[in-house]
Amino acid sequence: MFFCRLVVPLQLTGLRSVKSLVLAQVKVADDDLQRMILWCNAMKKLSIIDCLKVNNIVICAPSLSELVIRLVWPARVVLLSVPRLVSMAIAFYYGRDGREEGPNEASNLMALLNGLPRVKDLRLDFSNNYRMKMGWPYQQVYLQSATSST
C-alpha cells in the first residue's frame, strides 16, 4: 500500500495468507497497524517505510523472517513474538516537523535490539541529524553473523 490512509476493522478475515506486506507513506494509527500485522498470520516479509502517525509499533508475527523499517524518530518499535526473524534493516531519521529527541531514545533502541534473538543480518542506518543528536560517529552499521561450515 502506498500513499493512502489505512483503517483496519476490528474483525478482519481476508488477510491470513498474506506473505509480504509493504506499507509506504501510509497514514496509519498505531492500533490499526498492530491489527493489520496480527491478521497477516503467514507474513514472512514486512516493510514499514515513512508511515505517518506511527509512534509505537508492536510486532507480533511468528512467521516473520524479514523486517524493514524506515521512520521519522522518535518512534518505539517492540518485537513481541518474532522467533523466525533472521534479517532486519532499520533506518531512523529526524524529519522536518520540529520533533526533538525524547528522553527514552537510547532505551527504546536497546529494547528493540534486545528483541532480536535469531537475527543473522542486521542493518542500521541513521541520518546525519540523528547521529549528531545521539553523538554517534557512523551513519551505517551492518552486522552479519558468520556462517559456520562443517
Mean of the pLDDT values across residues 65-91? 88
Number of domains in the chain: 1
Residue 115, domain extent: 5-144
* In-domain check, residue 18: yes
CA angle, residues 31, 44, 91, in degrees to nearest 5: 65
Q: Which tens digit of pLDDT belongs to each residue from 89-147? A: 988 776 555 455 554 666 777 778 877 878 899 888 877 666 666 666 655 555 555 44
* In-domain check, residue 150: no
Instruction: Tell me the C-alpha distance between 12 and 18, whole Å.
Output: 13
Place of cell 541513521: 126
Amino acid at site 121 = D
Identify the pLDDT of residue 133: 62
* In-domain check, residue 58: yes
Mean of the pLDDT values across residues 50-72? 91
